[in-house]
A and B are shown apart, each in its own frame.
Chain A
């Protein structure tokens, strides 16, 4: 465990998104999105395909231009330093037969020295330490492309936690991770958010996972339709309209 994990979560710091809109090629993809993601909480974004969940994440990652504000506030409501974001992408479309190992991938991200010049002992130790936070040190010499969906998720999570983010964004894979893998992944995430000073934002397609692990749920459809405790959102009329009226699943 790194020294950063000694912070207990205070539950008061938050990332505030206000009036966030994304317009591209004259089309409004997101309109006036407002949500607060508190540290120590797991906030789930749900909605049908095309509801703008991925667009919101891309905006928060700074990949696409948006209007509106994203602020990081400390417990007394003052602006803190810029939001440090950790990101676990959806299933990756990389070249699975490349000889790049988990260790190569981790050290390429964590150290400046080019991986082809050889991995230093220090970089190796640091990578193993990062991997240990999600219980995947044993994967270090496996090829990235040879990992199962669940193993890859853990490696990506280990990387996203180094350096410790203020906001951890998890883009859940639509497929490729088995139920057991998903379950243990969320247990790890749940433990992390409880013991660390960070907010977790999860895009999920699995409403069952959301029901069990989320503290706060945001239902999206171009904008925020409804948000609150999981129970409140799942019982809201908006939820029924989005998921049942049109015969859609998440």
Chain B
């Protein structure tokens, strides 16, 4: 870690870079944003914006369950709950019993309410309100390691599941006729999204995390000419928003997560008129 800090000191002779918390926050942005840029493309293509939003909200229940069960590591209980939640919703969605958005909405509101009831008992909710907006300046080297592992793992899995996922997003029966196990592919994808969301929610915040997933991909599809550029630009927009938002928040002394999302939104609106017909 000290080698990385030393390199950053040499490369970034700025006032903000002299603080360790800013160095950590910058590193966190460089790890989190590509994850969201990559996963966002297929989340948008599969019309999962609402799903990922609800997934973020379910983090609250994950924390609450951790508290009830006495799990000291909230991250772990959130992660387990998030994955289980994502798999459950996907399973129900695949059974096609009612319209997907209704199902997601029912689960989402139930899980938020359950989380609030448990966490707010005895007036203790203030302790957890940080999850709502997130605080990237609190990232520790240990968290950075977890994020780095998540990024490496996601890219590796992404190399295998992208083609099947693309086919499935066009037509599941067609994918099936070509030997793609469409359901399994969908499960892998939602688990990736769940892990990414749950690992980043403490830094980005429950209210904003979905924008970080959707905005860079949405901006990218305004200008990308094919699938490869779709992902590349999405990652580039996410990275730029992350770094610009972090520095902007430092100089304006405001919330980093919100500033990141505003930059991403600005990119979206700038690219909107360039939209390909």
- Using a CB–CB cutoff of 8 Å, the interface residues on chain A facing chain B are 58, 61-63, 85-87, 89, 92-95, 97-101, 103-105, 107-109, 111-119, 141, 143-144, 146, 156, 159-160, 169
Chain B residue contacts of A116, Cβ below 8 A: 158, 162, 227-228, 230-232
Q: Is the CB of A87 within 8 A of B163?
A: no
Q: Give Cα A113 to B228, complex, Å.
A: 12
Contact count A vs B, C-beta below 8 Å: 104
Q: Mark B139-183, 1 if CB is under 8 A from A, else 0.
A: 000000000000000000011101110110111011011100000
Contact A119 B177 (CB under 8 A): no
Give the interface segment out of B10-18, B129-137, B218-226: B218-226
Q: Which of A63, A99, A111, A117 contacts B221 (CB 8 A)?
A: A99
The 8 Å CB contact of B230, one of A100, A103, A105, is A100
| Other-chain residue from B44, B163, B227, B276 in contact with A111 (beta carbon distance below 8 A) | B163
B91 close to chain A: CB less than 8 A? no
Task: Across the A-B interface, give the 3 residue pairs with the lowest CB-CB distance, nearest first.
Answer: A87-B177, A104-B227, A108-B163
Q: Which B residues are closer than 8 A to A by beta carbons?
A: 44-47, 158-160, 162-164, 166-167, 169-171, 173-174, 176-178, 220-221, 224-232, 276-277
- Asked if A114 meets B174 with Cβ closer than 8 Å, knowing A100-B226, A104-B166, A104-B227, the reply is no
Q: Which chain A residues lie closer than 8 Å to B47 at the CB level?
A: 95
How far, in Å, is A25 (CB) from chain B's closest CB? 11
Whether B177 lies near A105 (C-beta < 8 A) is no
Q: Assuming the A-B contacts A63-B173, A114-B163, are A98 and B221 also in contact, with contact meaning beta carbons closer than 8 angstroms in the complex?
A: yes
Contact A101:B160 (CB < 8 A) given known A61-B173, A89-B171, A95-B47: no
Complex CA gap A92/B224 in Å reads 22
